[in-house]
Amino acid sequence: MKIDYSMDERIIMTLDAGGTNFVFTAIQASKQIIEQITYPAHGEDLTLSLETILKGFEQVQNSLPQKASAISFAFPGPADYPAGIIGDLGNLPAYRGGVALGPMLEEKFGIPVFINNDGDLFTLGEAAAGFLPFLNMKLTEAGSNKKCNNLFGMTIGTGFGGGIVRNGELYIGDNSSAGEVWLLRNYIYPESFAEESVSIRAVAREYRKAAAIGDDLLLSPKDIFEIAMGEKEGNKLAAIKAYEILGTSIGEAMANIITLLDAQVVIGGGIAGAADLFLPKVIETINSTIKTINGDELPRLDLRAYNLENKNDLDEFCKSTPSEINVPFSDKKVLFESEKRIGVGISKLGTAEAVALGAYTFGLNQLEKK
């Protein structure tokens, strides 16, 4: 799959659909070419919401120097994304019972329409123009022959989303449900799902719990981050603990994901700015141990995770350390890299830009497949 479209002159119209706002733009040659257009989502009124989507894309189309080649955008699930049909959404309640959004837009604008969720498109954007190119450049600069081709992306904010890119190809699964990490089992509260401990609300809850304060104190993760850093008045130890619990929860979920995918991991979303507080705990959790039924300890994974936001870890990850081993019954020797490595880091593009570039990349790739 081609993922570098930085010289391509075709234009893709995009939308980032949230529960509150719809944000429209257009991309050409991997760059946004018009100012973003934002309208309220009107998630309680289906007719008004759909009319808003049509109005937004009409306004984008009228701003373009040439006709767009396709529409490609992020929309919340559950959905049958290949068919362009939106299912029963929690944050846009009017979209219930199945809404044929893709076919509606194709009929209106006469161009192909492609829809995915934001976690998928975030990951594809980082694979095309962000995290993976950065990491492979660092490997090349270090003299390593290794190249990373697979990426798992996590978006952590109001919710906990994910996406998978394998050898440059977005993987969505047989039911458009791949990467739905929010439903992994919660490590801290095993009767619950992972998102309850990997989200904005989780940080606020754990801070209130550790600080023994009531639910009436409304603090954002940014407030709690500043308390932990000593920049704002509050319970510093409780703030640090809240982010450590977040890191442990992410790390355990990530360990399960890495076990299946063997992919590098990039984190985006509103919580990513506090990486200094939670990412070391993520790496510690992945590199911890697990026990046999008899109590013997063994590594949690057969790979070692590195914090790529830490320069020493990044240098160590990129370092090539092969050893020479003998070929049995021969006088020849071959090189063997014994340590398997996974890099974990933060978005290089910013979440919104990565989603938009992912939508652009996916749209052009699907056009080429057709």
Mean pLDDT of 274-301: 95
Q: In the chain, where do the E strands start and end?
A: 11-17, 21-28, 31-32, 37-40, 70-74, 79-80, 85-86, 99-100, 113-116, 150-156, 160-166, 169-171, 264-268, 289-291, 297-299, 304-307, 323-326, 333-336, 341-346
- Judge whether residue 215 has pLDDT over 80: no
List pLDDT tens digits, range 220-235.
Answer: 888 999 999 999 999 9
Mean pLDDT of 343-361: 94
pLDDT more than 70, % of the chain:
99
List pLDDT tens digits, range 126-178.
Answer: 999 999 999 999 999 999 889 999 999 999 988 899 999 999 899 999 988 89
List pLDDT tens digits, range 296-326.
Answer: 999 999 999 999 999 999 999 999 888 889 9
Mean pLDDT of 45-57: 96
Residue 2's pLDDT is 62
Residue 98's pLDDT is 87
Domains along the chain with CATH numbers: 11-116 (3.30.420.40), 131-348 (3.30.420.40)
pLDDT more than 90, % of the chain:
80
pTM as predicted:
0.92
CB 114 within 8 A of CB 71: yes
